């Protein structure tokens, strides 16, 4: 090891090159030791892990020095009545926030006792939006016209780059001399960002050849990826999912220790009016909490919590109770690729019965999205109930303090 450490210090060996000379485990150990010596920090806890790293160092993490372990709790059973997910599920939630699992668990209990959450996917399409520079506004308009007239040709070319993806459409958006092509793809069980980026590159080349519009960037931020954006809330990105449950007055009183009218008022004044007054893009109580916890547990890209947090929660008074629903315009998930193949994350997907590719293709990722939406509904119900009953501070004092 000393030889490698010496070479690293001299600069004759780069951190990223260790795997070229050592096994992944040995490379991680040498790299961690080097960083310890450079920083003076004890990094031994990072070296304790159960995952196999042969795949991880090639596909998931460069310059690996170990792992950070996040506690995983379970909430459920949660009854889900979706088109792809139908049954009872236990949700794996990776979190360090005390009270979160308990909160979701209470919501799961309410949903299950009420007969299960109805869930539907309204739209399914991952987007990428390359941006082109045009000479003037006439050139921009001509470029958009050409794209609209040759969409079928572009679709064929894009689909030649992937075995699984299917182009759904192209939405041109113009700002002066900039032309953005918001291209949507059905990516089946993959979250699909790599797939759509490669396909969009093929389209960009053809557009440039035919129109002279110059491609500036494969992502022009109209996609929009990992940033809050109204376009995702309106047009959707990934999977647009709705989940709802009807609760009787008695169920609200028994489970949440409040009443239906209070539940509805809390939602209106907090989630709807409060969010609008703040200029928020999300109108919910804690959707990001549940999405982040499931994403981390199941190998999703946690940065996509940004889009997931645009959830809208509604509470409609109905005879004898309330109907509570969540709308998730931009839920980006996959059951193959990315972090889904890491041992611990694959185990959590298996617990939900959605690991790997589905039959037919796309069914597993859609089932996963439906389960997440039902979990978000559980979290919203529980927090609204706690606020209505005045129990929020008490729960955090009991479960969230060291």
DSSP string, 24-85: HHHHHHHHHHHHHHHH----GGGG---S--TTHHHHT-SS--------EEEEEEEEEE-SS-
Q: Which residues contact 307 (CB under 8 A, 6 or more apart)?
A: 224, 226, 228, 229, 232, 237, 238, 329, 330, 331, 332
Mean pLDDT (whole number) for 155-169: 95
pLDDT tens-digit map of 59-72: 999 999 999 999 99
Tokens of 378: 């559980």
**Average pLDDT for 126-133:** 98
Helices (H) and strands (E) in the chain, counts: 16, 10
Q: What is the pLDDT of residues 190-199, one digit of tens each?
A: 999 999 999 9
Match 């979290």 to its residue by tokens.
Answer: 379
Q: Which residues are catalytic?
A: 97, 301, 396
pLDDT for 200-245, tens place per residue?
A: 999 999 999 999 999 999 999 999 999 999 999 999 999 999 999 9
Distance separating alpha carbons of residues 108 and 381, to the nearest angstrom: 9
Report pTM: 0.94
pLDDT for res 238: 97
| Residues 364 and 335: beta-carbon distance below 8 Å | yes
Per-residue pLDDT reduced to its tens digit, 354-400: 999 999 999 999 999 999 999 999 999 999 999 999 876 455 555 55
CB of 74 closer than 8 Å to CB of 101? yes
Q: Which of 257, 273, 353 is nearest to 312 (CA)?
A: 273
DSSP 111-130: HHHTT-EEEEEEEEEEEE--
Q: How far apart are CA 378 and CA 113, in angstroms?
A: 12
Task: For residue range 254-281, list pLDDT tens digits in order.
Answer: 999 999 999 999 999 999 999 999 999 9
pLDDT in tens, 4-40: 999 999 999 999 999 999 999 999 999 999 999 999 9
Q: Mean pLDDT in the chain?
A: 95
């Amino acid at each position: 090891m000393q030889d490698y450490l010496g070479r690293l210090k001299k600069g004759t060996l780069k951190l990223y090159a260790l795997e070229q000379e050592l096994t992944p485990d040995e490379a991680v150990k040498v790299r961690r030791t080097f960083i310890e010596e450079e920083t003076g920090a004890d990094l031994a806890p990072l070296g304790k892990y159960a995952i196999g790293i042969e795949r991880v160092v090639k596909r998931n993490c460069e310059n690996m020095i170990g792992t950070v372990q996040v506690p995983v709790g379970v909430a459920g059973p949660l009854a889900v009545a979706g088109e792809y997910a139908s049954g009872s599920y236990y949700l794996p939630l990776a979190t360090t926030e005390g009270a979160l699992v308990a909160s979701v668990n209470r919501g799961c209990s309410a949903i299950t006792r009420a007969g299960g959450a109805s869930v539907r996917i309204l739209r399914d399409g991952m987007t990428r939006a390359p941006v082109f520079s045009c000479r003037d506004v006439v050139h921009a308009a001509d470029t958009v016209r050409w794209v609209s007239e040759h969409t079928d040709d572009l679709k064929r070319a894009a689909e030649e780059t992937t075995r699984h993806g299917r182009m759904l459409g192209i939405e041109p958006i113009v700002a002066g001399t900039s032309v953005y092509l918001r291209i949507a793809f059905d990516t089946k069980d993959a979250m699909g960002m790599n797939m759509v980026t490669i396909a969009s590159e093929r389209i960009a080349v053809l557009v440039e050849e035919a129109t002279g519009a110059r491609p500036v960037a494969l992502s022009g931020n109209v996609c929009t990826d990992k940033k809050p954006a109204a376009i995702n809330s309106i047009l959707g990105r990934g999977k647009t999912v709705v989940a709802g449950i009807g609760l009787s007055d008695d169920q609200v009183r028994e489970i949440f220790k409040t009443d239906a009218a209070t539940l509805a008022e809390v939602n209106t004044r907090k989630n709807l009016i409060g969010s609008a007054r703040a200029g928020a893009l999300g109108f919910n109580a804690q959707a990001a909490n549940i999405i982040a916890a499931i994403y981390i547990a199941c190998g999703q890209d946690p940065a996509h919590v940004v889009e997931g947090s645009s959830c809208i929660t509604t509470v409609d008074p109905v005879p004898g109770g309330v109907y509570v629903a969540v709308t998730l315009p931009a839920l980006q998930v996959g059951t193959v690729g990315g972090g889904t193949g890491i041992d611990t994350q694959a185990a959590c997907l298996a617990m939900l019965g959605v690991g790997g590719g589905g039959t037919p293709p796309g069914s597993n990722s859609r089932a996963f999205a439906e389960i997440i939406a039902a979990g978000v509904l559980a979290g919203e119900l529980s927090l609204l109930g706690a606020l209505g009953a005045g129990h929020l501070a008490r729960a955090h004092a009991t479960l969230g303090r060291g």
